[in-house]
Structure 1
Amino acid sequence: MDLIKVALAAQAQAHAPYSGFKVGAALLADDGEVYSGCNVENVAFPEGTCAEAGAISAMILGGAREIREIVVAADSPLPVPPCGGCRQKIAEFAKPGTVIVMAGPEGEKGRTTLGELLPGSFGADHMDRAEK
């Protein structure tokens, strides 16, 4: 399945009446399924939901737990990477080498990895989860 096409289809469904900036995301999960999401704005801006968060939520609901690749699609002259909060959300379910593709209506605009976008990320290994 073409992740860019899925992300663009999700982008078309975005609810962005306040910013006008529609974003779609599609990810390939460890179960081989593709999950997508779109940004959903709220009049109590910035109380909305990012496209990446929606796709991750769909993945979790579907039973998968690892992102193998993710595409973020938006209309912009520049490649649009995940925001800082979404980088951390992606890091919860992906490895540093996970590919992140930035796309627009004309196709791929750039690609990077989670490790390049979020070096030195905070993760579960930082938590003291030992029982006391």
Structure 2
Amino acid sequence: MSLTYPDDRSYHAEHLWAKPEADGTVLIGITDFAQSQLGDVVFVDLPEVGLHFDQGTSCASIESVKVVSEAIIPVSGEVVAINEALADTPELLNQSPYDAGWLVRVRPDGGLGGLLTAAQYAQQVE
């Protein structure tokens, strides 16, 4: 199975993506590479809405059958929404890492500087 990295978002070296939305917020999730390395996800500990995170810090914890991993946020900003569906169906991270399996939506402090393009990220992980 080949891994995918959509061009409509930017990527952080710690295997999370950031997708700008029309309303100015940024959707955050884990990459296909990350979910493949984690294995079957069994629990996701998401932050509270309203919390602020600096780029490069942990914003969530992802537990799989193999390991517990920190989700390193790719942009600084305030959490404005969390993916409530992950509470009951954490396997969405494996099944749909770029769509239904998103983690948080943030109101960014600034732009998406310092992130990788899909091609740069793919080159880094392959």
TM (normalized to structure 1)? Answer: 0.27
Higher Cα Rg, which structure: 1
Structure having the higher helix fraction is: 1
More strand, by proportion: 2
Normalised to the residue count of structure 2, the TM-score between the two structures is 0.28
